Amino acid sequence: MNGYHGKVLVIDLGEKSWRHVAIPENILRSYIGGTGLSAWLLYQLCPEGADPLGPDNPLIFSTSPLVDTKLTTSSKFAVTSKSPLTGYIGDSMSSSKIAVSMKRTGCDAVVLKGQASNWTYLVVSDHNVDFRSAEDLVGLNSSDTESKLRQMLEPGVSVACIGPAGESLVRYSTISNDGGRQAGRTGTGAVMGSKNLKAIVFEGNKKVGISDNKSLDAIRVDLIEKSLGSATTKYRETGTIANASVFDRLGSLPSNNFKNASFKDLSQITAENIYQETTVRSVHCANCTIGCEKLITDPGTGSEVRLEYQSLFALGPLVGSGDRSILLESAKYCDEVGLDTVSAGATIAWYFECIDKGFLKDEFVHSSNKILDILRAIVSRKGIGDLLAEGTKFASATVKRGSSDFAMHVKGLEMPGYEPRTLKTMALALAVSTRGACHNRSSAYEYDFSSVTDRFKADTEKGDLVAKGEDYSAVMDSMIWCKFVRKVFSDFYVESAEILATVTGWDIDAEELEACGERINNLKKMFNMREGWVRMDDTLPHRVLNESLEDGNSLSKEELNLMIDAYYRARNWNKDGTIPFKTLKRLNIDQVPDVVVS
Amino acid sequence: MTLSVTVEFHGVPAIPIKSKKLIFSCEQIKKATVEEVIKKLLIIEPQLDGKVIDSDKNLLLSSYLGNINGDKFIEGNLDEMKDGDSLIVIPRMAGG
Ligand code: SF4
């Protein structure tokens, strides 16, 4: 088989055992890799009702057929498990050399099961899995963990690890890898922590075959050239932080816990000012020619901080802070300890509002100066930090008193920096996404920021757009392309199918590839249905549906439901959002769970 | 009759020019197309040529998007602008 090893490495941490399991080619062709393959593995391996932080919840790292092809932006991997925030499917992507190292150990995915009896780290090579004590690594932040492991092993090894946040099972902790990159959302770090697994080191030399190397070389060169063109200007020049002033102007920048859609104190933290007043350095993930990542030198500490828009939004406007040094320090801290900045910011914003309303005794005052202290309390689970470490869904269910009305999450995953009341396609996508309030699995904002649709109008055409966006994103996340390269394709499915055919030798075409996207999204939904999903889970926070913005923009429950109905129709689902048998049959999803209504 | 139009730059396009907002007037007309506004803009800020504007076509470069008053995204340069309108120039969105 070309492009794949055709094997999954299954590691049982409780039993300290491992084995390779063959994976049929038709499954690889149906689910490709990345989030698609890992969704299939999760569906097979996660028992119904498994505790997300218990030994039965598998933690799955998956690569893709493009990993190790040196195509631009292709060194990516996905981490998937049942999310401790949502109780539904949770997946997260990251990019770095580790994707290549993992694949070179001779498998397409690694499944971690069980729970180690003591803190452990794994050394996975192409012929062995070594279980080693991590007692000396416990308490170390992610960069120190990586450095220490490299000192102990070899300087070039690839490391995925959790920081103190994952150790203390903060529900929104991340998995850090290769110098501070994060598999950030849905709490995969907490799942890793629940397994007493501090780190995984990958080192291997097994390469897969490529069906047509010569054609792949030509494609590689062509993509490099295109990736340096106008389609990626924003990413190359300022990275995603450029979004802040744009969204602010368009009334789409959520601030003050989504009370407002622009932010009066933004000036210090716009890309424009950051570029004028600080030193910024671009860095690239492995095999990437774009280099969207920006390291900003914090003038206060002199250290470099990785900053992207979602962190800027969540630790800035969302918590009502426009202070650049607080933003940089807190973003740096989150990366070091392994906290998802979006969920962390949203939880603090909720906490500030609880303080203002007198719902919680003010262990901290509502002040930007306290953000870092609150983050520290979350990681150590000291005092109020113990409650905040649970995320907004669980914390508001504990506090009650109507605090869930301003807990800004969907299904338990905190909202990213897109204002649903002025971005209606995005609003629908956030409501129906299988992983909760997620912007990345649909890229629906792209339609709103274009002439394709009226972003202020909640109409039925949004249903089709979101379904299309989700399928397209599922293919991107399974092949795996970085989302930031997508505009270099003039016909995404045609060109991607051609590339997949060049790597694997399959006679796959655009239509088949598009169907893979639809299949993957249906399978994710099936997982959620098995875990108890009901239609009312597809919704938006109370504040979004009941409070208008200052400029009068709003979104009612009726308007959202109109769009959700249209989305279910576009998906060929039942009115209640369940999947009819004929849709599963058309997509060749052969395992039909009991919960499917026919 | 003088038509006064504002052109605003946000994010990446704001970096080559120091000012975020340019306000200028087109005289003797009631309304102008985006193309006319872009032509006028190039006279005032010639350094935008090749950085933000394609002067051969009087269009924004494909890496940028135009929006009128925060309401409507434009395609091409034929949309009309009225007195008091703002043309908002932003980087083309593709994620983040
Ligand atoms: S565009 Fe950015 S996130 Fe994507 S692969 Fe390149 S550096 Fe990494």
Structure tokens at A455: 């972003």
Which residues in chain B are contacts of A237 at CB distance < 8 A?
A: 12, 15
Instruction: Note whether residue B96 is domain-resident.
Output: no
Mean pLDDT of chain A: 95
Which residues in chain A are contacts of B72 at CB distance < 8 A?
A: 451
Closest to B11 in 3D by CA, of B63, B71, B81? B63
Q: Do A243 and B11 touch (CB under 8 A)?
A: yes
Closest to A181 in 3D by CA, of A202, A199, A160? A160
Interface of A with B in 144-203 (CB under 8 A): none
| B62 reaches A (C-beta below 8 A) | yes
pLDDT at A231: 80
A234 Ramachandran zone, left/alpha/beta (phi>0; psi -120 to 50) = alpha
- In chain B, how long is the greatest CA-to-CA distance? 43
Q: Do A451 and B62 touch (CB under 8 A)?
A: no
Residue B80 phi, psi (nearest 5)? -95, 145
Structure tokens at B92: 């083309």
Residue type, A409: H
Instruction: Note whether residue B82 is domain-resident.
Output: yes
pLDDT at B32: 85
Assess whether pLDDT exceeds 50 at residue A213: yes
* Chain A nearest-CA residue for B73: A451
For ligand 1, atom 5, the nearest C-alpha belongs to A73
- Right CATH number for A7-203 from 3.60.9.10, 3.30.450.30, 3.20.20.70, 3.40.1180.10? 3.60.9.10
pLDDT at A361: 83
State the DSSP string of A565-588. HHHHHHTT--TTSPPPHHHHHHTT
- Residue ranges of alpha helices (H) inside A158-212 are 164-167, 188-194
pLDDT at A172: 98
CA distances from A249 to A242, A253, A555 (A): 12, 8, 20
Residue A455 phi, psi (nearest 5)? -70, -15
| A443 reaches B (C-beta below 8 A) | yes
C-alpha atoms less than 13 angstroms from C-alpha of A203 in its C-beta half-sphere? 13
Closest to A88 in 3D by CA, of A574, A423, A531? A531
Mean pLDDT of A134-144: 97
* Chain B nearest-CA residue for A236: B12
Using N-to-C axis directions, what is the helix angle for A510-530 and A461-479, rounded to 10°?
100
Q: Give me the average pLDDT of each 10-residue run along chain B (96 residues).
A: 85 71 69 88 88 91 91 90 91 71
Out of A64, A92, A234, A285, mutate this one to test ligand 1's pocket (max ligand atoms within 8 Å of CB): namely A285
Assess whether pLDDT exceeds 50 at residue A594: no
How far, in Å, is the centroid of ligand 1 from the Cα of A236? 9
pLDDT at A174: 98
Q: Which of B65, B73, B93 sits opposite A445 (nearest CB)?
A: B93
pLDDT at B18: 64
| A450 reaches B (C-beta below 8 A) | yes
Q: pLDDT tens digits for A389-425?
A: 999 999 999 999 999 999 999 999 999 999 999 999 9
Q: pLDDT tens digits for A146-189?
A: 999 999 999 989 999 999 999 999 999 999 998 889 999 999 99
Instruction: Note whether residue B77 is domain-resident.
Output: yes
Q: Do B14 and A231 touch (CB under 8 A)?
A: no
Confidence tier at A593 by pLDDT (50, 70, 90): very low
Using N-to-C axis directions, what is the helix angle for A324-337 and A371-380, rounded to 10°?
10
Assess whether pLDDT exceeds 70 at residue A140: yes
Range in A342-356, A363-377, B40-54 with the lowest mean pLDDT: B40-54
pLDDT at B95: 64
Collapsed DSSP state (helix, strand, coil) of residue A483? helix
pLDDT at B94: 59
Assess whether pLDDT exceeds 70 at residue A360: yes
Question: Looking at the 3D structure of chain B, how many domains does it have?
Answer: 1
Domain extent listing, chain A:
7-203
For ligand 1, atom 4, the nearest C-alpha belongs to A482
Instruction: Note whether residue B29 is domain-resident.
Output: yes
Assess whether pLDDT exceeds 80 at residue A346: yes
Instruction: Note whether residue B18 is domain-resident.
Output: yes
Full domain range(s) for residue B27: 2-91
How far, in Å, is the centroid of ligand 1 from the Cα of B8? 28
pLDDT at B91: 86
For the beta carbon of residue A546, count every other beta carbon within 10 angstroms: 13
Q: pLDDT tens digits for A474-492?
A: 999 999 999 888 889 999 9
Instruction: Classify residue B91 by its DSSP letter.
Output: E
Closest to A523 in 3D by CA, of A192, A16, A34, A43? A43
Q: Which residue has the tokens 């003010």?
A: A362
pLDDT at A364: 94
pLDDT at A595: 40
Assess whether pLDDT exceeds 50 at residue A598: no
What percent of chain A is modeled with pLDDT above 90?
92
State the burial class of residue A498 (Cβ atoms within 10 Å of its Cβ: 0-12, 13-18, 19+). middle
Range in A287-301, A342-356, B22-36 with the lowest mean pLDDT: B22-36
What percent of chain A is modeled with pLDDT above 70?
98
Assess whether pLDDT exceeds 60 at residue A596: no
Residue type, A540: L
CA A575 to chain centre: 29
Instruction: Enter the pTM of the model.
Output: 0.96
Residue type, A434: T
User: Which CATH number do you get for residue B85?
Assistant: 3.10.20.30
Higher-pLDDT residue of B21, A99? A99
Residue B32 phi, psi (nearest 5)? -135, 155
pLDDT at A590: 67
Say if residues A508 and A220 touch (Cβ distance below 8 Å).
Answer: no
Say if residues A539 and A431 touch (Cβ distance below 8 Å).
Answer: yes
Q: Do B96 and A310 touch (CB under 8 A)?
A: yes
Say if residues A519 and A105 touch (Cβ distance below 8 Å).
Answer: no
Cα A317 from Cα B6, distance rounded (Å): 26
Minimum-distance ligand 1 atom for the alpha carbon of A287: 5
Confidence tier at A597 by pLDDT (50, 70, 90): very low
Say if residues B5 and B37 touch (Cβ distance below 8 Å).
Answer: yes
Say if residues A10 and A111 touch (Cβ distance below 8 Å).
Answer: yes
- Closest CA–CA distance from residue A159 to any residue of chain B (Å): 25
- Within 8 A by CB and 6+ apart from A217, the residues are none
* Chain A nearest-CA residue for B76: A451
